[in-house]
Amino acid sequence: MENILEKSEKNQIRAREIIEKTKIIEIWKSVGAVPNLVGSLRTGLLMKNRDVDFHIYSDDFKLSDSFKAISVLAENPRIKHIEYKNLLDTDELCLEWHAWYLGAENDLWQIDMIHILKESIYAGRFEFVADRINAVLTPETKYAILSIKNETPSDQKIMGIEIYKAVIQDGIRNYSDFIQWREKQTHTGIIDWIP
């Protein structure tokens, strides 16, 4: 049990070091934006997937400000790759930025930065979901979630929210039961579940 918790804690420390070394929060603030940590790092449920997620908001949204922030981030020599999607004409009303940071141990970390218009139906939603997950987590459910994440093969893409829902709502406690649970689910895309 301790090994999984230690592994999770180590990765969370490394993720926070990357945030500090990239100065990602300061960069976004420099263009008048507010970056909010979301996802598994916010909930303390980061396990072996090396990713850091931010949702970013601007009172006066400008496409050029988003590009300006990313251009500053790109000056960091450890940022090795950046991708961009313009989803301003979709229901999501956002720009998606994905950057890859090469860590000190030659490990690649993905940094997802979603610059969201305040009119988006997703504005503030993932922060709220993360806070609700934190509010209902117990030591038992946290361990079950981290165990399932740890057992998930690296080449299999599973959204954390699927695991959280299975464990918190439906009492799943191990990877094999989770896979059986997942086969019975019908959702695709964004999962609108809140504990």
pLDDT in tens, 59-97: 999 999 999 999 999 999 999 999 999 999 998 999 999
Task: Determine whether 25 is exposed, middle or buried from the number of CB atoms within 10 Å of its CB (0-12, 13-18, 19+).
Answer: middle
Co-location of 123 and 174 in the same domain = no
Co-location of 143 and 178 in the same domain = yes
Q: Distance (Å, rounded) from C-alpha 180 to C-alpha 174? A: 10
Question: Considering the domain boundaries, does residue 99 fall inside one?
Answer: yes
Of 100, 127, 154, which one is at a domain's C-terminal end? 127
Co-location of 106 and 168 in the same domain = no
Does residue 1 carry a pLDDT above 60? no
pLDDT in tens, 11-39: 999 999 999 999 999 999 999 999 999 99
Position 185 scores a pLDDT of 87
Co-location of 72 and 90 in the same domain = yes
> What CATH number did the domain enclosing 120 receive?
3.30.460.10
Count: domains in the chain: 2
Q: Containing domain of residue 144, as a range?
A: 137-183
